[in-house]
Amino acid sequence: MLDATDPGALEAVLSRWAQGHALPCRPGIRAARGVAETLTLDITTIRRSDGRLESLLVTTPLAALESGAAALVRQSLGELAGVFRALEHSIAGAMAKNDAAQVL
């Protein structure tokens, strides 16, 4: 984002773009991830969360939670089940496309 208090900021950015130069990198700003990296990181995150969630569900019965919390967790789990069904469908479709492409 441009610094709105600097009157020359817009002109400097436009000048750099006109000369074919990108914005200078600032500390803490990362380059955009590629699709493969994003997929791999998301898969890893889901697998880690799945393990933690499964462990909690096995060791903590919903009945052990306060009634309001149990109702919220029950609702959230139902919604999560729908998300996982949709994700399972997307994964199966992606795998089928990949398998078909490798046959060609």
Tokens of 46: 């889901």
Band of pLDDT at residue 32, cut at 50, 70 and 90: confident
Domain around 21: 9-103
58 within some domain: yes
The closest alpha carbon to 2, from 28, 33, 32, 26, belongs to 26
pLDDT above 90 for 81: yes
Residue 33 lies in a domain: yes
Does 4 reside within a domain? no
Q: pLDDT at position 43, please? A: 93
- Identify whether the C-beta of residue 56 lies closer than 8 Å to the C-beta of residue 63: no
pLDDT at 80: 95
Give the chain's domain count.
Answer: 1
Q: CA distances (Å), 67 to each of 21, 74, 79, in order?
A: 59, 10, 18
pLDDT at residue 24 greater than cutoff 90? no
Confirm whether 2 is domain-assigned: no
Q: Is position 91 within any domain?
A: yes
Residue 52, domain member (yes or no): yes
What residue type is 25 in one-letter code? C
Torsion angle of the four alpha carbons 36, 99, 94, 78, in this order, in degrees rounded to the nearest 10: -120
Cα–Cα dist 12/39, whole Å: 36
Q: Does residue 56 lie in a domain region?
A: yes
| Residue 94 counted as domain residue | yes
Three-state DSSP state, 75: helix
Asked whether the whole model's pTM tops 0.75, one would answer: no
In the structure, what pLDDT confidence band is assigned to residue 2 with cuts at 50, 70 and 90? very low
